[in-house]
């Protein structure tokens, strides 16, 4: 079994993340919704934890040719926002996995709330050691999460293993560039639990190394530079809730780390990429 050296740190990071199940439910109630039953059309405005909201889900789905005949694996699914959206809008069966148990518990409850439990199911698991037989899935997606997973070669190997021949793998991730300094990588590891970040060249290399055809790579840096400024503002708008739940010091630490992260897209030390490959 592949161990994750930083597992506790990543789980702790997501257990104390400003976007969480309670915060989503509170915001829904504040906006006048009855959280006993909220449709996915409403929930999708609150539950996505990646850049670009549901449009980014559609971009991956279109690239991968997702339809209702597919069994989709959402790797590092968080609270299941993309899984639910893709299940509802493409009619596919979805399995989501995530390392953080609180994320999986939240994903399961939010999915029951939206009445999508027959289509979308969730399991706590490590992306480096997927608990599925080989050739299980037609399509695999992931968004802004591989950055936390060490050993990208093992990660891609696992992803390819569980895909059927001809299956598609479509994902977006935070990337290093030739400008990224070693002290930047160390700080990102320390403050945001990013580990051994991939690059625009390393992902295609890893995919081809596993026998995949790389069909598309897209540089999302310009797009994300704008989105991330808004995202920092969104986190700042959650200041009171974050302090209530996790304390003042946590909010300050988070704000320092996230502003630093956003600034790295301005300086070109970080980039964003979207990849499509076929097994």
Ligand X SMILES: C[S@@+](CC[C@H](N)C(=O)[O-])C[C@H]1O[C@@H](n2cnc3c(N)ncnc32)[C@H](O)[C@@H]1O
Contact between 180 and 265 under an 8 Å Cβ cutoff? The reply is no
Among 142-150, 219-227, 239-247, 261-269, the segment contacting ligand X (CB under 6 A): 142-150
The minimum distance between CB 124 and ligand X, in angstroms, equals: 9
Among 35-43, 48-56, 229-237, 252-260, the segment contacting ligand X (CB under 6 A): 48-56
**Using DSSP, how many helices (H) and how many strands (E) does the chain show?**
12, 8
Should residue 50 be labelled a site residue for ligand X when binding is judged by CB under 6 A?
A: yes
The minimum distance between CB 146 and ligand X, in angstroms, equals: 8
CB closer to ligand X out of 159 and 207: 159
Contact between 232 and 139 under an 8 Å Cβ cutoff? The reply is no
β-partners of residue 214 are: 277
CB closer to ligand X out of 148 and 168: 148
10 φ/ψ angles, rounded to the nearest 5 degrees: -65, -45
Binders in 70-89 for ligand X, by CB under 6 A: 76-78, 81-82
Among 87-95, 140-148, 183-191, 227-235, the segment contacting ligand X (CB under 6 A): 140-148
Q: What is the secondary structure of 171-190 as a DSSP string?
A: EEEEEE-TT--HHHHHHHHH
**Count of residues near ligand X by CB under 6 A:** 24
- Sign of torsion over alpha carbons 150, 236, 44, 270: negative
The minimum distance between CB 201 and ligand X, in angstroms, equals: 22
Contact between 60 and 172 under an 8 Å Cβ cutoff? The reply is yes
DSSP state of 147: G
CB closer to ligand X out of 69 and 190: 190
- Find all residues with CB under 8 Å of 201, minimum gap 6, and list them: none
Binders in 181-210 for ligand X, by CB under 6 A: none
Which residue's C-beta sits nearest to ligand X? 78
Should residue 152 be labelled a site residue for ligand X when binding is judged by CB under 6 A?
A: no
The minimum distance between CB 130 and ligand X, in angstroms, equals: 9
CA angle 162, 165, 169 (to 5 degrees): 60
CB closer to ligand X out of 71 and 248: 71
Count CB neighbours of 22 within 10 A: 10
Binding footprint of ligand X on the chain (CB under 6 A): 4, 10, 14, 48-50, 76-78, 81-82, 97-100, 103, 126-128, 143-145, 148-149
């Amino acid at each position: 079994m592949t161990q994750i050296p930083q597992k506790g740190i990543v789980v702790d990071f997501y257990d104390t993340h400003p976007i969480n199940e309670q915060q989503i439910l509170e915001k829904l109630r504040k906006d006048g919704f009855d959280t006993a039953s909220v449709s996915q059309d409403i929930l999708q405005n609150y539950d996505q934890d990646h850049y670009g909201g549901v449009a980014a889900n559609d971009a991956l789905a279109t690239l991968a040719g997702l339809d209702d005949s597919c069994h989709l694996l959402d790797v590092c699914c968080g609270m299941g926002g993309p899984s639910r959206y893709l299940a509802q809008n493409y009619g596919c069966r979805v399995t989501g996995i995530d390392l953080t148990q609180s994320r999986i518990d939240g994903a399961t409850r939010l999915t029951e709330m939206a009445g999508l439990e027959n289509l979308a199911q969730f399991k706590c698991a490590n992306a480096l050691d997927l608990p599925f037989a080989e050739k299980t899935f037609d399509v695999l997606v992931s968004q802004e999460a591989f950055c936390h997973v060490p050993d990208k070669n093992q990660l891609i190997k696992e992803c390819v293993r569980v895909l059927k021949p001809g299956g598609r793998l479509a994902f977006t991730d935070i990337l290093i560039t030739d400008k990224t300094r070693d002290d930047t990588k160390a700080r990102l590891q320390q403050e945001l639990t990013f580990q051994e970040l991939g690059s625009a060249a390393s992902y295609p290399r890893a995919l081809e190394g596993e026998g995949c055809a790389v069909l598309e790579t897209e540089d999302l840096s310009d797009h994300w530079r704008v989105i991330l400024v808004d995202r920092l503002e969104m986190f700042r708008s959650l200041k009171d809730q974050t302090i209530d739940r996790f304390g003042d010091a946590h909010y300050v630490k988070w704000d320092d780390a996230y502003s630093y992260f956003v600034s790295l897209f301005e300086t070109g030390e970080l980039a964003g990429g979207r990849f499509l490959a076929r097994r």
